[in-house]
Amino acid sequence: MSFEIPENLYYTESHEWVDPETGKIGITDYAQDELGDIVFVEFPGVGDHLETDDELGVVESIKAVSDIYSPVSGEVTAVNEALEGEPELLNDDPYGEGWLVELDLDSTDEVESLLTPEEYESQL
């Protein structure tokens, strides 16, 4: 089975993605598939400041509860409230409508230490 891994994003070993252009963060196609049907997402507060590896939220599926960690540091500027009513968006479109939070990144350099699409694919 092959998973979608967009070229313009950076990745973590724990299956989060970050878009350096928009500051948006989510979980990967592989992660949503592993979790199964998502039923609930818990967000940080808008205005919270997150350090790298801080807990960013919780994703709950019918199989498991997973903590999501922030791949980079920054201030939370938005959370994807659409997921509160339609958590399945995360399964259907993990890189689009299923984004989790948007950060105002402390520094755009931080993503350099994350995995490239090729590196992420090779660890799957």
Nearest to 95 by CA among 80, 106, 84: 80
Q: How far is the CB of 47 from other proteins (least distance, A)?
A: 11
Q: What is the spatial distance between Cα 27 and Cα 85, in angstroms, rounded to a whole number?
A: 18
Site for other proteins in 30-69 (CB under 8 A): 40, 42, 45, 60, 65, 67
Q: Does 106 bind other proteins (CB under 8 A)?
A: no
Instruction: Look up residue 105 and give its amino acid.
Output: L
Q: How far is the CB of 41 from other proteins (least distance, A)?
A: 11
Q: How far is the CB of 82 from other proteins (least distance, A)?
A: 18
Q: In sequence order, what DSSP letters do the residues of 57-117 get, joined into one string?
A: EEEEESS-EEEEE-SS-EEEEEE-THHHH-TTHHHH-TTTTT--EEEEES-GGGGGGSB-H
Q: Which of 1, 45 has the CB closer to other proteins? A: 45
Q: Which of 5, 59 has the CB closer to other proteins? A: 59
Nearest to 80 by CA among 93, 64, 67, 69: 93
Q: How far is the CB of 65 from other proteins (least distance, A)?
A: 5
Q: Which of 3, 69 has the CB closer to other proteins? A: 69
Residues near other proteins, by CB under 8 A: 40, 42, 45, 60, 65, 67
